[in-house]
């Protein structure tokens, strides 16, 4: 049986792969509710197909049907991870948050090393709202995103 999901479509025109959003517990599982943090603010998401980071808003969320078999779903991207560190912008002291969806079992350490190696920041914004060239190396933390629980 296909399951109803919500996705973001990667903003890279050469990719356009879906980023599947896990349900947010505080929203419950009603199909009419869109999984997004309560503050409804934009979020930077990493697409794991093309490794590009863009900013997405609540309005970018689309419904989609997940046709995967139950076995495949067991290893599915079920967790939103948050990587946070200093903005690499000149004269910018702000923090940058990047979200990526992955299987919970992959763990924050693996997710962190993967992101730091590979992410390409296209239209990410730091918490000051400026376009962000990336994360400063060092002092980067990774955790399961508390806003998504």
CB of 135 to Zn ion, least distance (A): 10
Q: Is 123 in the site for Zn ion (CB under 5 A)?
A: no
Choose between 10 and 119: whose C-beta lies nearer to Zn ion.
10
Q: Say which residues have a Cβ less than 8 Å from residue 125's Cβ, sequence separation at least 6.
A: 42, 44, 55, 131, 132
CA dist 103 and 45 (Å) reads 15
Q: Which is nearer to Zn ion, 12 or 24 (CB)?
A: 12
135 versus 142: smaller Cβ distance to Zn ion: 135
Separation between Cα atoms, residue 72 and residue 82, nearest integer Å: 24
- Residue 140: CB minimum distance to Zn ion, A: 15
Task: Pick the piece of the chain touching Zn ion (CB under 5 A) from 59-67, 98-106, 126-134, 136-144.
Answer: 126-134
Q: Report strand pairing: 141-144 vs 18-21.
A: unpaired
Q: Which of residues 9-68 bind Zn ion (CB under 5 A)?
A: 10, 12, 15, 47, 49-50
Q: How many Cα atoms occupy the beta-carbon half-sphere of 71 within 13 Å?
A: 0
Q: Which residues bind Zn ion (CB under 5 A)?
A: 10, 12, 15, 47, 49-50, 87, 89, 92, 94, 126, 130
């Amino acid at each position: 049986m296909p399951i109803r999901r919500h996705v973001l479509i990667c903003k890279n025109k050469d990719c356009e792969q879906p980023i599947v959003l896990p349900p947010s517990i505080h929203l419950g599982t009603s199909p009419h509710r869109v999984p997004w943090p309560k503050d409804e603010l934009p979020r930077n998401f990493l697409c794991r197909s093309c490794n590009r980071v863009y900013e997405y808003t609540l309005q970018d969320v689309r419904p989609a049907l997940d046709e995967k078999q139950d076995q495949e779903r067991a290893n599915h991207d079920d967790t939103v991870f948050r990587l946070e560190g200093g903005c690499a912008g000149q004269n910018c002291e702000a923090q940058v948050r990047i979200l990526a969806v992955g299987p919970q079992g992959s763990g924050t350490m693996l997710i962190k090393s993967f992101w730091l190696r590979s992410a390409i920041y296209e239209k990410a914004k730091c918490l000051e709202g400026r376009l962000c060239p990336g994360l400063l190396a060092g002092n980067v933390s990774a955790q399961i995103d508390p806003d998504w629980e």
